[in-house]
Structure 1
């Protein structure tokens, strides 16, 4: 038992940081998952403090794509030598399903599933980033897929607690796990923000598409080095069924510079949704994007730099000659000449649609946030052809431009079409009937309406049975049946407990007054008066004994015994 409330049952799994057990919340009568941290982490008081604060932060997040954190606490265990040891734990939602890493272990997943899983991860990140919480450890081992196919991201806040208590990359990776999903800024020990999660989500998408992460090595330091300095192989070169349009998206998500990645989870989700419908870029364009993001050959550049540093600073190396052999010099000059001639021929034979600057080339203007009318004028003036497509947007006001395709700054030929995506505002949904229905009925109605079930607060109501909804609200504001709210909103419910709390009327109330109170709207119970001839009667008649006190089911019969002897 933990805190006298949580019963710890069978072991579910064990990792480098903690062991997870199936458990039962005896107070609320619900199954839970209990994560108990390992002793070496628990011994660090700074870590325990950070862990508690981050668990509290994570517990405030309520979203269908995030495993809920219900509670966090600390027990003290005494070992065989009589020494006390702290044992921090967190209590989470119990999810039935499979870890995403187990799904990937069988190889690349179908394209549709890969996109759906990634979208679910980004949906969770979209919510957490708006709440100011950066996960820092997005990886398949921290993602569950339920039996119904719902994606659930877990362990929010724990990675930060670990990294803030660790001093080196090696130490941190030993605690968190594999470094295959580190962002370059994490590997270098730089400050991180939401874009680090975007990078890790890109790694997960890469692994879903190819069955393997883009960077692998013998130890975490080797992998971290690759994150910082090497370019990933486009997914379609490993699995030829991957659309090349996804190559461009994955390479962009894995950019070393955070400013070159999608800046938000919303932008990544939008790009992911549009990627499969776009015309696939040529292989040369993908190579051009890779060079733009990572340089022409970052691995070779890094190796050259390392060799130069060794030659200039390592005084333990003894050179056997004053300079390189003459044959090497002439071979190097010949190779450089061949390379220059090849580049010259390649540049002059490029087709206009493969990236060469053609005569009269135009630049797509930046019309984002403009109205459609204004954007149309600007694009017309630029001698391009605008085409309007409406789409819903939670971030851009109705009537304003969300994005363009091609994006602003792209060089195009005169008269080329520019697709302008105009915001229709947030997509709305009507709130279904809530009051006097059961939670299961309301949950089904919310899903059909395109809404989500939020938190549930239980309250006594003498007129309603257990699990019957009393009212609903969104972000603390009450909602009514038929009210239009943003689609996808979480509706919080106030639900009847099916009980009322009855005070003790014995010795302090007359029978008539107790009957009046129990029959009132406050209790709505059924009082029955029973006379006891074994004790002397009083005037007025007083309640001697009451059959039930405290929590009783609504509509219950309460027996009031009074003396009649």
Structure 2
């Protein structure tokens, strides 16, 4: 009997507790809050497609039409954020993207791309005939061009520009061609068997190595990357670990000789060469045969 009375008394207290208007309001508020939280979690889980990520596809190098199709196939969205012109890239192709390829993203994510303009910017060709190679290089680069192939013919004006060409045709001053184009130069090589030294390129980045080759009155040959180079950004950071012809102190080359380069990101492959190189022109008639090494 005592247990039944205790049970009835407990039940009465509980009912009285829940029928209290203040307590009832608090309980209803907590219940409403819990329902809202649960509904919000369900909505967010559906909206963000929780745990349904996929790698961003590779778009760089693709024509924009193909890039759009690739994005659609992956249930993503594409947005062109910028357009630039790079002469050695295919017009209308993707040259950069964000997020990068392989980045894990959720479906319907926007991928921003920069494309290469289909219509290049055209600018006037300057006249560099009569200038030295060093001066001509500076003028062309300042105007937005690059030095192309160097060729030489006998002339008293050693390393002076005699002619300038674009795509095999004379590049007349004032003609308009795409910005970033390469201008080929014909220069004088002297009349007494003048030659040029071999520049030391080991340890340099590609752009610095190319500049040094041109300044030595030589041409850039084949460029090869080892297995450590897997992307365009890698190629920008890579350094020369081998060159051909190899650097030899006091060795000389004919003007216009091609120099091949091998590049890597592996510092261990780059030999340490502390000897200073010279790109100064030397006259064979004025150099002792015992001191000079001639490389044909």
Structure 2 length normalisation: TM-score?
Answer: 0.36
Structure 1 length normalisation: TM-score?
Answer: 0.21
Higher relative contact order (CA 8 A, sep 6+): 2
Larger radius of gyration: 2
